């Protein structure tokens, strides 16, 4: 008889910190102590607080242990599982603001208190490799309901009514997309799940597929019924091996139970699907490029129209939905459109998962109702910038988005507000930057990414972004002029209005948005040849303040290039800037703060 469950995160983050070995060790120790019959070890999906991984949950006690090591397992089993004494040193906790005492419960830990898990409902609760656990949480009920109680049009109407918008970037109404495809007359239609998650820093789709693969499969079958399609593709990048493996297991189990295949629930409806592995090109997240890639062609975008709903994969009507969008579908059918609309804002209903990263205390996955403010996400859930550094900006929407500043912290996050502020929702990456980040360098980082990922089909993107990168590099390395900034801005607008696909049209956004909010930083690079955040190495110079120098010689011992000269105990030390490689080792070594950086 099972009395206790040990849930171990098997997501990519925790697996990389050896959660698989921890699982083995739990099984070994439990068996050794004769507890293996009453305590079940379950590998589950992401708990969200990846920063503190590997995370382990023990139920029914609702205890979370973080940063667990293989060596800790025996203590957890002996103390907690056998004797009921929690291992407090590993327990996830927060400090209560009023009492200043440690709190352990989920609804008191700020990271979880404000979250509302819908798309991530099953992540960290079920074993993704066991279809029965998905079914136990009302899995495939929605598919059964639509097949036996609803007409395809009713399904489309329900999704339309819910106001669900695409979570992959554009925020197009999902129900409307389905309507267009449903209206097409064709002998064959397709449903595609776009799992080509490519924004640097975004990993919510991966976590959903790893933690709850059936929610996506069920939603694809529902979409198939709604538009009249009997076949689907999940386009996923090969660099997500855990997600691919779990999807394959899930598809096999669904087929065995007859939830995929012919005559599902004894109706006339048949549906099956397969995985298509992409090589990880950013542009393949663009739907026409994705279709080309599925067809075995080179992943390059095509002009629209024709839209995929009219002419998609193999020239047939196709809908393409993002992973997180699909993860909401079954719950909308089960709980009703009104339930979904009750969360979020008027024009952006439901919740959104954000991948919180960068200069923030709690990095990880966060799901909140739309309309939550940036301040709540970054400060209350994320815990603010570490080491009391000053918040500078947050980049949303990845390389296609833009940055938002302190002035925007209290604006609600939804599709339209972000666009109005010059950024976008994108897939939900949220990179926090503090005073130590140089915004010109950030723009250069994103442009470097775009240049790498541009498919090369159209000139504005292929050549234009390359030129932008060169200009940004010039500015970072001290060769910039004021004219260059103007020229660069002009080029941005030209690319925006002439590039072929979404990737190119949005590529200049990081440059434009940093120019808009941080023009002073660009000007400091150009006019004063100075990087205010001390990031751009070419503009840095180190010197030793003779008044503060105690002639201890520590700096010269640490210098890898012998650029520091002086006599210990007798003469203050000096840096020869022609030999200095600006590594900062002397500054770290100095106990008296005598090494200055500017």
Partner 1 sequence: MKSLADLKALRDQTKKRLDLRDGENDYRIVVGMGTCGISAGARPVLNTFVEEVAKHNYSASVTQSGCMGLCSYEPIVEVFDKQGNKTTYVHMNPAKAEEVTRKHIGQGEICEEFTIGAAGR
Binds partner 1 (CB under 8 A): choice among 31, 69, 132, 315: 132
Binds partner 1 (CB under 8 A): choice among 258, 315, 386, 456: 258
- Which of 173, 146, 183, 184 lies closest to 269, judged by CA? 146
Residue 146: strand, helix, or coil: helix
- Which of 466, 345, 349, 443 lies closest to 393, judged by CA? 443
Of 244-252, 254-262, 355-363, 379-387, which part binds partner 1 (CB under 8 A)?
A: 254-262
Q: Does 1 bind partner 1 (CB under 8 A)?
A: yes
Q: Does 104 bind partner 1 (CB under 8 A)?
A: no
Smallest distance from the beta carbon of 16 to partner 1, in angstroms?
25
- Which of 1, 20, 24 lies closest to 11, judged by CA? 20
Query: Which residues, numbered 266-305, are part of the site for partner 1 (CB under 8 A)?
Result: 266
Tokens 């960068």 sit at which residue? 358
Q: Sign (positive/negative) of CA torsion 299, 321, 11, 116?
A: positive
Of 135-143, 216-224, 228-236, 575-583, which part binds partner 1 (CB under 8 A)?
A: 135-143
Q: Does 548 bind partner 1 (CB under 8 A)?
A: no
Smallest distance from the beta carbon of 11 to partner 1, in angstroms?
17
Instruction: Give φ, ψ of 356 to 5 degrees.
Output: -90, 125
Residue among 106 and 580 whose Cβ is closer to partner 1: 106
Residue among 329 and 575 whose Cβ is closer to partner 1: 329
State the pairing for strand pair 429-434/391-396.
Answer: antiparallel
State the pairing for strand pair 190-195/231-237.
Answer: parallel
Residue 261: DSSP 8-state: B
Of 18-26, 143-151, 215-223, 303-311, which part binds partner 1 (CB under 8 A)?
A: 143-151
Q: Rounded CA gap, 219 and 234, in Å?
A: 12
Smallest distance from the beta carbon of 503 to partner 1, in angstroms?
42
Of 172-180, 256-264, 454-462, 481-489, which part binds partner 1 (CB under 8 A)?
A: 256-264
Residues 478, 538: contact at Cβ < 8 Å?
yes
**What x/- string results for residues 56 through 85 when contact with partner 1 is judged by CB under 8 A?**
-x-xxxx-------------------xxxx
Smallest distance from the beta carbon of 190 to partner 1, in angstroms?
24
Residue among 126 and 313 whose Cβ is closer to partner 1: 126
Q: Sign (positive/negative) of CA torsion 358, 363, 368, 374?
A: negative
Residue among 265 and 379 whose Cβ is closer to partner 1: 265
Q: Does 170 bind partner 1 (CB under 8 A)?
A: no
Q: Does 135 bind partner 1 (CB under 8 A)?
A: yes
Residue among 248 and 263 whose Cβ is closer to partner 1: 263
Binds partner 1 (CB under 8 A): choice among 16, 31, 88, 136: 136
Residue among 63 and 418 whose Cβ is closer to partner 1: 63
**What x/- string results for residues 336 through 355 when contact with partner 1 is judged by CB under 8 A?**
--------------------
How far CA 143 is from CA of 229, 339, 583, in Å, comes to 14, 18, 59
Binds partner 1 (CB under 8 A): choice among 33, 87, 103, 141: 141
**What x/- string results for residues 417 through 456 when contact with partner 1 is judged by CB under 8 A?**
----------------------------------------
How many residues belong to the site for partner 1 (CB under 8 A)? 35
Q: Rounded CA gap, 361 and 36, in Å?
A: 37
Smallest distance from the beta carbon of 352 to partner 1, in angstroms?
25
Q: Does 55 bind partner 1 (CB under 8 A)?
A: no
Q: What is the DSSP string of 81-93?
A: IIH----GGGB--
Binds partner 1 (CB under 8 A): choice among 26, 65, 111, 140: 140
Residue among 146 and 455 whose Cβ is closer to partner 1: 146
Of 4-12, 226-234, 354-362, 411-419, which part binds partner 1 (CB under 8 A)?
A: 4-12
Binds partner 1 (CB under 8 A): choice among 91, 138, 435, 596: 138
Smallest distance from the beta carbon of 142 to partner 1, in angstroms?
11
Of 129-137, 178-186, 545-553, 576-584, which part binds partner 1 (CB under 8 A)?
A: 129-137
Q: Rounded CA gap, 491 and 488, in Å?
A: 5
Q: Rounded CA gap, 239 and 279, in Å?
A: 8
Smallest distance from the beta carbon of 34 to partner 1, in angstroms?
10
3-state DSSP helix/strand/coil % of the chain, to nearest 5:
45, 15, 40
Binds partner 1 (CB under 8 A): choice among 9, 29, 126, 393: 126
Q: Rounded CA gap, 441 and 434, in Å?
A: 13
Binds partner 1 (CB under 8 A): choice among 31, 32, 38, 154: 38
Instruction: Give φ, ψ of 546 to 5 degrees.
Output: -60, -25
Encoding tokens for residue 580?
Answer: 């200095």
Q: Does 107 bind partner 1 (CB under 8 A)?
A: no
- Which of 171, 181, 190 lies closest to 309, judged by CA? 181
Binds partner 1 (CB under 8 A): choice among 24, 116, 145, 467: 145
Q: Rounded CA gap, 428 and 398, in Å?
A: 8
- Which of 327, 312, 69, 39 lies closest to 207, judged by CA? 327
Q: Per residue in 270-293, is it b (16+ CB within 10 Å) or e — as a string?
A: ebbbebbebeebbbbbbbbbbbbb
How many CB atoms neighbour CB 66 within 10 A?
A: 18
Q: Which residues contact 55 (CB under 8 A, 6 or more apart)?
A: 9, 14, 47, 49, 64, 65, 66, 68, 92
Q: Does 259 bind partner 1 (CB under 8 A)?
A: yes
Encoding tokens for residue 484?
Answer: 């260059």
Binds partner 1 (CB under 8 A): choice among 33, 75, 144, 275: 144
Smallest distance from the beta carbon of 118 to partner 1, in angstroms?
16
- Which of 107, 76, 79 lies closest to 94, judged by CA? 107
Residues that bind partner 1 in the complex, under the rule CB under 8 A: 1-5, 7, 38, 57, 59-62, 82-85, 125-126, 132-133, 135-141, 144-145, 148, 257-259, 265-266
């Amino acid at each position: 008889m099972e009395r206790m469950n040990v849930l171990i995160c098997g997501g990519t983050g925790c697996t990389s910190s050896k959660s698989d070995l921890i699982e083995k060790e739990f099984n070994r120790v439990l068996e050794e102590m004769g507890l293996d019959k009453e305590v079940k070890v379950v590998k589950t999906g992401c708990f969200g607080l990846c920063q503190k991984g590997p995370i382990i949950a023990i139920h029914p006690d609702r205890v979370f242990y973080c940063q667990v090591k293989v060596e800790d397992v025996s203590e957890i089993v002996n103390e907690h599982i056998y004797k009921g004494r929690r291992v407090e040193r590993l327990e996830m906790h927060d400090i209560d603001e009023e009492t200043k005492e440690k709190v352990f419960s989920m609804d008191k830990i700020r990271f979880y208190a404000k979250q509302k898990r819908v798309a991530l409902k099953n992540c960290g609760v079920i074993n993704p490799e066991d279809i029965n656990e998905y079914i136990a949480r009302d899995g495939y009920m929605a598919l059964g309901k639509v097949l036996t109680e609803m007409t395809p049009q009713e399904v489309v109407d329900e999704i339309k009514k819910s106001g669900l918008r695409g979570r992959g970037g554009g925020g197009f109404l999902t129900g409307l997309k389905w309507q267009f495809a449903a209206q097409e007359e064709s002998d064959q239609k397709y449903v595609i799940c776009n799992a080509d998650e490519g924004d640097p820093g975004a990993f919510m789709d991966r976590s959903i597929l790893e933690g709850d693969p059936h929610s996506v499969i069920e939603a694809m079958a529902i979409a198939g019924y709604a538009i009249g399609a009997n076949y689907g593709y999940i386009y996923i990048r090969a660099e997500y091996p855990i997600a691919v493996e779990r999807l394959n297991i899930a598809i096999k189990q669904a087929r065995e139970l007859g939830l995929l295949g012919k005559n599902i629930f004894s109706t006339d409806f048949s549906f099956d699907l397969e995985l298509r592995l992409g090589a990880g090109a950013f542009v393949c997240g663009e739907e026409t490029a994705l279709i080309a890639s599925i067809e075995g062609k080179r992943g390059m975008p095509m002009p629209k129209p024709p839209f995929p709903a009219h002419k998609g994969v193999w020239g047939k009507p196709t809908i393409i939905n993002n992973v997180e969008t699909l993860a909401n579908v079954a719950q909308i059918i089960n709980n009703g459109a009104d339930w979904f609309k009750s969360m979020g804002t008027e024009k952006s209903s439901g919740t959104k998962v954000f991948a919180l990263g960068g200069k923030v205390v709690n990095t990880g996955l966060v799901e909140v109702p739309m309309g939550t403010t940036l301040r709540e996400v970054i400060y209350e859930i994320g815990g603010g910038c570490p080491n009391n550094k000053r918040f500078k900006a947050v980049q949303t929407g990845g390389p296609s988005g833009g940055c938002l500043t302190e002035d925007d912290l209290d604006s609600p996050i939804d599709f339209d507000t972000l666009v109005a502020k010059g950024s976008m929702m994108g897939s939900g990456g949220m990179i926090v930057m503090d005073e130590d980040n140089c915004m010109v360098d950030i723009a250069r980082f994103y442009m470097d990414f775009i240049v790498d990922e541009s498919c090369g089909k159209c000139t504005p993107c292929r050549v234009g972004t390359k030129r932008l990168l060169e200009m940004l590099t010039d500015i970072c390395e001290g060769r910039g002029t004021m004219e260059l900034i103007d020229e660069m801005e002009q080029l941005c607008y030209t690319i925006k209005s002439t590039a072929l696909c979404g990737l190119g049209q949005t590529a200049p956004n990081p440059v434009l948005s940093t120019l808009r909010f941080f023009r002073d930083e660009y000007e400091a690079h150009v006019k004063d040849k100075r990087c205010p955040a001390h990031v751009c190495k070419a503009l840095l110079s180190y010197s030793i303040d003779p008044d503060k120098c105690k002639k201890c010689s520590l700096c010269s011992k640490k210098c890898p290039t012998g650029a520091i000269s002086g006599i210990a105990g007798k003469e203050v030390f000096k840096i020869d800037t022609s030999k200095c490689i600006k590594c900062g080792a002397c500054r770290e070594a100095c106990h008296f703060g005598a090494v200055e950086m500017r």
